[in-house]
Structure 1
Amino acid sequence: MGNYESDANPNEEWEDSWETGYNEFSWEQYLQAEGQEVTKYQAIYSKLIRSANRLDEVALYMGWQPNADNQDPERPQEESPKATHPYTLHRHPLFVSSKALHGWLIEQWGRRISLAPEAVDASSALAYQSTLTESDYYGLLAVTALDIDDFALAIAYFKRGMVSLNKALGMLSDFDSLQIEAVSLYAKHARIRLFDIREIWLRVTSDCRATIARGSEED
C-alpha cells in the first residue's frame, strides 16, 4: 500500500523544525507549496482513477513509498526533494490524501448542484456536504493522533470518520434515485473516492492495531 501510515515526523525533524528562521512571508510560501501537494495528489489520482491499484500507484508518484524514487512525470528529474524544509502536519501522507479526496468531493458537489439547483432540496444538499466535512475533520484529527504516537486515539477517530463515510454513501443512494444526470455522474465518481478514503483508513487502522499489539508484547 501507499505509505499513508508513515511516521509523521521522520528522524525527529520536529526538534529542528523551528530553527529555520522562517518569518511570516516564508511560512506563507511554505503553506502555499504544501497546498500544491494536495492539488498534485488530485491530478495524479484522476489520471489513475481506472486502475485497481490506484492508491498504491498515487503514493508511489507522490514519493511516499519506502525507498522509492519520486516518479512524478511532472517533476523535473534533477529537482531534489524538499529535505531542508521544516516539518508540519501538511506533509503527512494521510493529511494530503484526505484533503485531496475530501476536497474533490465537496468542490464537485457544489458544481453539480449548481447545474440542477431545483433537483435536490437545500436541506439535503447541505446535510451531505456537512457529512463530508465531518468525515474530513475526523480524518485530520487522526493525523494529529498519529503524530503524537497515540495509535488508539487515531483508531477512535477513524471509527467516527467511518460513520460519516457510511452516512455519505447512503445519501448518494438517495440522490441517485432522483435520476438526475449531473447528480448521478457525481455519485458514480464520489463512491470511488469515498471507498478509497475508507480503504486508506482501514489500512492505517490495521497498522495501528499491529503497532499497539507489538507494544503490549514488549511490555
Structure 2
Amino acid sequence: MQLIRVSLELCEPLFFATKEVGAMYITEPFVGNYALAYATGIEITTYKRKYAVSYTEYLPGTGFYCTPAKFKKFGWTSESFNSVGESRYLLMDKNNYKSFPEEKTRAANIPQIGTIKMIASESRAEFYVLKNTNDALPKYIRLGKFNTKARLDFEEINYEIKAGYFECFTLLNPADLPDLQIHSFRSNPVKPVPLLESLKATGKYINSGDISLPYGMSYCRRLLNAN
C-alpha cells in the first residue's frame, strides 16, 4: 500500500458554506475527504440528479483512501450577492418563482442577499492518500460550489506500521477510523461529518518520521460496522 502526501493549490477562489453567520457564508480552511474522494477519481454517474448521496453505497471498496485536507497557507476573499433563492427547479408563475410545482407553498419573489467568504486562489492545503491500486491520481481536480480548479502535487512516503500511543496532527474523519483507544481530540463541526484534529490515541498506526496516521482507515468504516 502506498502512502502519498498530496499538496493542493487553488487556481481560483474556493467556496462551500461550512459556517453561516447572519447573511455571511464562510468557507473554513479545510476540505472533507468525501468531497476529495469524488474529486480525485471515483467514477460515479448514478448519483447525479438524486436528492441525496449515499456515501456508504458509493465510497467503500474504491482501492484508495484520502484524509481530509487542511489549508496550511491561505487567505480569504469576499463577494456580495443579490439573487433569488437557488433550487433544482424554478417555474415562473404569475411573476413569482416557485421551486417545485407540486409543492403547495405560497409563491414568493424574495431576493437573497448576503456575502460569501471564500478561500483565496494560490492557497495551499495538504492531505494524505493511501492506495493499493496502480491508478494514477489526477493532476487537476475541481472542488466546491463553483467547481474551483485546484492543482495537485504528489510525494510518495516510506512508512512502517507500529502499535502503541501516537499523536496525529492530520485532519481525520471519525466515521472512517478503526478501533482505537482515543484519549483526546479537537473537533471541527462541519457536514456531513465533524472532522477531528490533534488526535491522541493508542492502537496500530502508520508512522513516517513526524507523520502518524491511524492504521486501517476506510470510508464509512464505523457506519458499516454499526449495521
Q: Give the TM interval when normalised to the shorter protein.
A: under 0.3
Which structure dedicates a bigger proportion of its chain to strand? 2
| TM-score normalised by length of structure 2 | 0.24
Which structure dedicates a bigger proportion of its chain to helix? 1
